[in-house]
Chains A and B, each alone.
Chain A
Amino acid sequence: MATNQAPIPDLAHAFDLEIARGVPVEVGCLASGGVRTYLPVKGGRFVGEGMAGTLVSGGETLFRRANGVTVVEAVYYIQNQDGWVARAFGNGYQTSDGDFIGTRMTLLFEADESGPLAHLATSAFVAEQLPGSDTIAISRII
């Protein structure tokens, strides 16, 4: 039965990603108006939504604008306990003032279409990390 009304979205917690970051790599002040920094991922782990595993690689590229907002571009490679890998990629903002302080991003996933992580590629996700935490809470947009 057609309703002609699109769904109203909601967020459902999917899993937490605990990240161990390496030494920042400072690129410096760019002519395009900001400071570029790279944060390599050394390792980590994830758990939730009926799955668990490790964070095997990735990194976060930061671009801190003069207005204080930092644009974050992130890539994470997660591996479940059976060895299946998924790639998460996305971007967002890190803010230190205003209504929200912390990092929020949106993420999409790629995974082998025959594997148990394939479902991650059929949704879009939102991620949030609060100051002082090494863990990103990842929610599925439903």
Chain B
Amino acid sequence: MKLELALEIRVSLGPRMHIEVSEGYTRGAVLIEQGTFSGPGLSGTIIEGSGGDFPIVRADGNGRFESQYLLKTDDGAVILKRSTGVRHAPAEVVRKLLAREEVDPQSYYMRMTPRFEAPQGPYEWLNRTIFVGVGQRNPSGSLFRYWKIV
């Protein structure tokens, strides 16, 4: 298996919300305000209001991503993106990430495994391809880079 860079997504995020479901089990919610994506043969924008990230947040701040939102390509195709992933980092790094401070992206593990549902046509290869992603959280938003497995 080899990795080939396929897509970059840049998003700006709304306020972070938390749902204290039970002791030790917290659901986060961050809506995507706007975003763009680009890669070989693929570019467009995130559809406003179409979703966000709803992570399971552990007591130490680490956790699991569960994101879902819609992409719209420059030629009008709508693509559903769902992703799960893992964030793991030392406590001080997590604190800075949650406070939206500048953090060295090499100092934390943020990997995700996105899936796509695309219409038949030029983008249907997304429906049968496995991807791995790396996330970078910046004070103003997030950058996700996805590699397809070839």
Contacts and interface: CB of A to CB of B under 8 A. Distances in A.
B149 A124 contact: no
Interface string B122-141: 00100111101111100000
Interface residue SS majority, chain B: strand
Interface in A74-94: 90-93
A104 B134 CA distance: 19
Contact-residue size bin, chain B (C-beta under 8 Å from the other chain): 35 or more
Contact of B132 (A67, A95, A108, A141): A141
Nearest to A119: B88
Nearest to A95: B128
B106 to A, nearest CB: 6
Contacts of A141: 111, 113, 132
A6 B105 contact: yes
A92 B130 contact: yes
B132 A123 contact: no
A10 B2 CA distance: 8
Contact of B3 (A10, A100, A106): A10
B115 A91 contact: yes
A104 B130 contact: yes
A34 B80 CA distance: 19
A5 interface: yes
Interface in B46-96: 62, 64, 84-86, 88
Contacts of A1: 104
Given A123-B109, A141-B111, A9 B130 contact: no
Contact of A123 (B111, B128, B133): B111
B130 A67 contact: no
A114 interface: no
Given A9-B147, A122-B109, A124-B86, A67 B134 contact: no
22 contacts: A2-B104, A3-B104, A3-B105, A3-B106, A7-B105, A9-B132, A9-B134, A67-B124, A91-B115, A93-B127, A93-B129, A108-B84, A108-B113, A122-B62, A122-B88, A122-B109, A123-B111, A124-B112, A126-B113, A126-B132, A126-B149, A141-B132
Interface of B: 1, 3, 62, 64, 84-86, 88, 102-106, 109-113, 115, 120, 124, 127-130, 132-136, 143, 145, 147, 149-150
Interchain residue pairs A-B with the least CB separation, the first 7: A106-B113, A6-B136, A6-B105, A122-B88, A2-B104, A124-B111, A104-B130
Interface of A: 1-11, 67, 69, 90-93, 95, 98-100, 104-106, 108, 121-124, 126, 128, 139, 141
